[in-house]
């Protein structure tokens, strides 16, 4: 791969990493909003609604969404890290090959 191509690939990988970082940030903000603003106080549902499962249903849905968002935050951050690592490895390999050619 030529030097210009390597630069394009490395640049694209780093741009993709920034994009995944922004997604991770948005998901993290969503998780924060959920954890701070979506908890319902005791007694939100009336007795009949509670007996019909509204409280348990809401709690189960809340916990599932919180789990999914937390996993998404972790995974998108991991994708970003791996993209940066790949860009770094490609750049190092190219630098090493260029140095070897000069010898």
pLDDT in tens, 28-74: 999 999 989 887 777 777 888 878 888 888 889 999 999 999 999 99
Give the angle 8-14-15 at the CA atoms, nearest 5°.
85
Q: For the chain, what is the mean pLDDT?
A: 91
| CATH number, domain containing residue 78 | 1.10.287
Q: How far is CA 99 from CA 4, 54, 87, in A?
A: 16, 67, 18
pLDDT at 4 over 90: no
pLDDT at 103 over 80: no
**Residue in 76, 65, 59, 55 with CA at minimum distance from that of residue 32:** 65
pTM for the model? 0.78
Residues in contact with 1: Cβ distance below 8 Å, sequence separation at least 6, in sequence order: 9, 94
Q: Which domain holds residue 91?
A: 3-102
How many domains are contained in the chain?
1
Q: How far is CA 32 from CA 2, 23, 25, 27, 39, in A?
A: 45, 14, 10, 9, 11
């Amino acid at each position: 791969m030529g030097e210009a191509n390597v630069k394009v690939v490395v640049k694209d990988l780093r741009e993709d990493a920034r994009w995944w970082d922004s997604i991770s940030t948005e998901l993290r903000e969503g998780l924060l909003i959920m954890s701070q603003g979506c908890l319902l106080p005791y007694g939100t549902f009336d007795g009949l609604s509670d007996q019909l499962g509204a409280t348990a249903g809401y709690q189960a849905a809340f916990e599932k969404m919180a789990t999914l968002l937390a996993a998404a935050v972790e995974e998108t951050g991991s994708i970003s890290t791996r993209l940066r690592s790949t860009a770094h490895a490609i750049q190092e390999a190219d630098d090493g090959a260029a140095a070897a050619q000069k010898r």
